[in-house]
Amino acid sequence: MARMKFYCDPERCIECNACVTACKNENEVPWGVNRRRVVTINDGDEGERSLSVACMHCSDAPCATVCPVDCFYTTQDGVVLHDKDICIGCGYCFYACPFGAPQFPEDGAFATRGKMDKCTFCAGGPEADSSSDEHRKYGSNRLAEGKLPLCAEMCSTKALLAGDADTISEIYRKRVINRSASVMARGVSYRDASFRAPHSASGKSSAKE
Amino acid sequence: MAKSIFLQSDNRKMHAGWLLLLLLCFIVQPFDSFANTSESRGIPSAAVLNPAAELWRDVRQREQLTNGTSQVKGVDSGVLINAYGDQWRKFRMQQLIPVGGYLLLGIVIGLALFYLIRGKVAIEGGESDKKLLRYTSYEQLIHWFIASIFLFLAISGLIILFGRPVLIPIMGKEAFSVIASACKEGHNLMGPLFLVALILIFIKFVRRNIYQKGDLSWLLRGGGIIGKKHVPSNFFNMGEKTMFWMLVLVGSVIIASGFVLIFPVFGLGREWMELAHVGHAIGAILVIGVIIGHIYIGTIGMEGAIEGMKTGYCDLNWAKEHHDLWATKAEQQGEVISNDKVSRLRDVSSAQSLGGHVQEE
């Protein structure tokens, strides 16, 4: 069976946030909830990198370990999903998750946590595939239609890869080899060959000194 | 033409040399000095292969705080990797649940053994026909107020903590989810009331709980457990005072951390919530352990101990044995009343509390 994974290539991500928007639209997620977000490290400085993060569908998921009601399960495709009928909205998965994937809509009189919502790898939930219940609770089930998650499918620079771990690691491996080859051809080190202006090119085009 | 051929062959040579170097670098990577020298010679070392390796190490391990920014606004949304989440998971799964569980189980088993060996501590002089007023109705009221809230919070908290290993195998996930959900909501609603109750208890009982001369000797003699003799003490003995201060101090920690946990709207990040959860859990386990002991003494552990909280009056002999400094003083001030008078007083007060429907016969 396949083991579904995301991979985001920081050399390609341009922080356009289209994955965030696409996810929000496709899955009709509640207000205040973003299943995916783009984080930029060293924003505006040399070595700036952006990464799109959501649930990484861990093989040994910490959220599933700490859940007091045991509402997580891993599908045959290796996608980590949860059952909103069982979830009590305690927030423990949010504490344990390294990626900050679990999100909580504000709920009740005191704006406490509602039932957790997170990226489903566009694979819906425990309800029958493509049922209206499933769509209402978990959003779209593209995997059941033979499609991959929309965030990765429409990524304009193909920074975000989604699919079987073997396939996407093969794609990424080829990229790394090609980049190394371009290093060879240009005779510069990989550090200088990555996709941003070198020191010397910082003159007229950049407002930043 | 010749130039390009030369370049190509040069490239090939470089390629082979580069691969060799890559291999070498991977082998000798642990030897930092070697890697440094190769870098200083201008040859790419393993560290150069992933130019952002150091950045990602910082992001992942966060030895220094490497926070990013995100267009998605929210608490912690700029944090790429929450490095403390894993520590918190280990604390909860490997320490809190097993250690806490066995600790509470150990306390219950220990008390059961103690009861089997020592039995109920009887009033040695037997019940007398005289009584002392120990708690006013207001004091009883706030005691049972905090007691019921505490019991609810303790039981609901323990269900959330130990439900997965203990209750899910018995009742299944769906049924347990209903209970756990009720526990979570109830815990959140009742939690703030515990603060109110604790404040009332503190104001009413703090003066009698200040440590005094004689408390140290009570402690040294184990509160009368060592040997058969009773140890003199005032209105509250040293054990009760310690329980009071523990409830106040540890209880405050529990309340403060509880507020952090209920209200994510405070805008505190996950590190604070993880820390709050650790404090909340450790404090709660400690206080629950102490309260189990308190309930034991109040119910099956000691004869006459619960009377003061049930009726407001305690037996004079019990008071003389367990709180003799207070009992002697009360006796001197003439506060001793007979059983008959107590039952008459109680009838009147219960009649009043029922709105005067019960007629005195």
Per the model's pLDDT, the better-predicted residue between A95 and A177 turns out to be A95
Distance (Å) of CA B70 to CA A103, A117, A149, B30: 15, 19, 21, 35
CA B306, CA B201: separation in Å to the nearest integer?
A: 18
Backbone angles phi and psi of B258, in degrees to 5: -65, -40
CA distance B82 to chain A (A): 5
Question: In terms of Cα–Cα distance, which of B285, B228, B227, B231 is closest to B254?
Answer: B285
Give per-residue pLDDT as tens, A9-36: 988 899 999 999 999 999 999 888 899 9
Domain spans of chain A, in order of start: 4-169
List, as ranges, residues 201-260 from B with C-beta within 8 Å of A. none
What pLDDT does B81 receive?
Answer: 87
CA B290 to CA B247: how far, in whole Å? Answer: 9
Cα separation, B240 vs B91, whole angstroms = 31
Cα separation, B332 vs B344, in Å, equals 23
Report CA-CA distances (Å) from B105 to A31, B1, B97, B99, B328.
44, 85, 12, 10, 39
pLDDT at A116: 93
**Among A41, A62, A67, whose Cβ lies nearest the Cβ of B80?**
A41
- CB contact under 8 Å between A39 and B14, yes or no, is no
Residue B51 has pLDDT above 60, yes or no: no
Cβ of A112 within 8 Å of Cβ of B270? The answer is no
Between CA B328 and CA B81 the distance in angstroms is 65
Arithmetic mean of pLDDT, A189-204: 50
Which of A112, A117, A176, A183 to substitute to test the interface with B, most B CBs within 10 Å? A112
User: Per-residue confidence at B123, pLDDT binned at 50, 70, 90?
Assistant: confident
Residue with tokens 């509880």: B258
- A166 to chain B, closest Cα gap in Å: 21
Residue A86 binned pLDDT confidence (cut-offs 50, 70, 90): very high
- Interface check for B86 against chain A (CB to CB < 8 A): the answer is yes
Instruction: Render pLDDT for A122-156 as a digit per residue (tens, 0 to 9).
Output: 999 999 998 999 999 999 999 999 999 999 999 99
User: Looking at the DSSP assignment, which residues form a beta bridge with residue A49?
Assistant: A41
Q: Which residue in the set B72, B80, B81 is minimally distant from A34, CB to CB? A: B72
Chain B CB contacts of A182 below 8 Å: none
Helix H or strand E encompassing A11: none
Residue bearing the bigger pLDDT, B343 or B52: B343
> Which candidate in B41, B61, B184, B273 is best for mutational testing of the A interface (most A CBs within 10 A)?
B184
Spatial CB neighbours of A102, under 8 Å, sequence gap ≥ 6? A55, A63, A91, A93, A94, A116, A117, A118
Residues of A in contact with B77 (CB under 8 A): 34, 37, 39, 100
Structure token pair of residue A202: 């910082």
Q: Are residues A106 and B265, on separate chains, in Cβ contact within 8 Å?
A: yes
Contact B304, B123 (CB under 8 A): yes
CA of B183 to nearest chain A CA: how many angstroms apart? Answer: 9
Q: What is the mean pLDDT of residues B121-136?
A: 85
Helix (H) or strand (E) segment spanning residue A126: none
DSSP, collapsed to helix, strand or coil, labels residue A123 as strand
Q: State how far the Cα of A22 lies from the Cα of A25, in Å rounded to an integer.
A: 5
The beta-carbon neighbor of B176 closest among A34, A69, A97 is A69
Residue pair B315/B338 in contact by the 8 Å Cβ criterion: no
Structure pTM?
Answer: 0.80
- Does residue B356 carry a pLDDT above 70? no
- The shares of helix, strand and coil residues in chain B, as percent rounded to the nearest 5, are 70, 5, 25
Instruction: For chain B, list the strands marked E by DSSP.
Output: 69-70, 130-133, 313-315, 337-338
C-alpha span between B162 and B97 (Å, rounded): 7
**Cβ contacts of B54 within 8 Å, gap of 6 or more:** B47
Nearest CA in chain B to A115: B181
Q: How far is CA A209 from its chain centroid? A: 33
Distance from CA of B83 to the nearest CA of A (A): 6
pLDDT at B131: 86
**Hunting for tokens 């184990």 — which residue is that?**
B222
B264 CA: distance to closest CA in chain A (Å): 7
Distance separating alpha carbons of residues B352 and B358, to the nearest angstrom: 8
Assign B158 to helix, strand or coil.
helix
For B153-167, write each residue's pLDDT tens digit.
999 999 999 999 999
Q: Domain residues of chain B, as ranges?
A: 85-135+206-346
Q: Which of A88, A85, A95 is nearest to A65 (CA)?
A: A95
Q: From the list A17, A32, A95, which residue is nearest B274 (CB)?
A: A95
B25 interfaces chain A, CB cutoff of 8 Å: no
Tallying the residues shown for chain B, one arrives at: 361
The CATH H-level (homologous superfamily) assignment of domain B85-135+206-346 is: Transmembrane di-heme cytochromes, Chain C (1.20.950.20)
Does CATH number 3.30.70.20 belong to domain A4-169? yes
Nearest to B277 among A71, A95, A100 (CB): A95
Which of A51, A95, A116, A175 to probe by mutation at the B interface, max B CB count within 10 Å?
A95
Q: Which residue has the higher pLDDT, A118 or B319?
A: A118
pLDDT averaged over chain A? 85
With bands split at pLDDT 50, 70 and 90, how would you rate the model's confidence at B265?
low
Average pLDDT over residues A36-64: 90
C-alpha span between B344 and B357 (Å, rounded): 16
Using the CB atoms, write b or e for B60-96: b if 16+ within 10 Å.
eebeeebebbbebeebbbbbbbbbbbeebbebbeeeb
Give pLDDT, residue B52. 61
Nearest CA in chain A to B70: A39
Residue that wins the pLDDT comparison between B13 and B242: B242
The pLDDT, as a whole number, for residue B323 is 86
The half-sphere exposure of A22 on its side-chain side, counting CA atoms within 13 A, is 20
State the count of interchain CB pairs (< 8 A) between A and B: 144
Select from B59, B188, B270 the Cβ nearest to the Cβ of A95: B270
Interface of B with A in 118-177 (CB under 8 A): 160-161, 163-164, 168, 173-174, 176-177
- Of A68, A97, A190, Cβ closest to residue B180: A68
| Cβ <8 Å between A49 and B55 | yes
Report the distance separating Cα B78 and Cα B206, nearest Å: 46
**What residue in B sits closest to A98 (Cα-Cα)?**
B82
Cα separation, B88 vs B285, whole angstroms: 17
ipTM computed for the complex: 0.84
Band of pLDDT at residue B169, cut at 50, 70 and 90: very high
Q: Which structure tokens are listed for A153? A: 């499918």
Task: Choose the closest CB to A66 out of B71, B93, B163.
Answer: B93
- B274 forms bridges with which residues in the sheet? none
The verdict on B52 touching A (C-beta cutoff 8 Å) is: yes
Q: Give exposure, A48-57, as e/b (b: 16+ Cβ within 10 Å).
A: ebbbbbbbbb
Residue B18 clears pLDDT 80, i.e. is over it: no
| Percentage of residues of chain B with pLDDT beyond 90 | 38
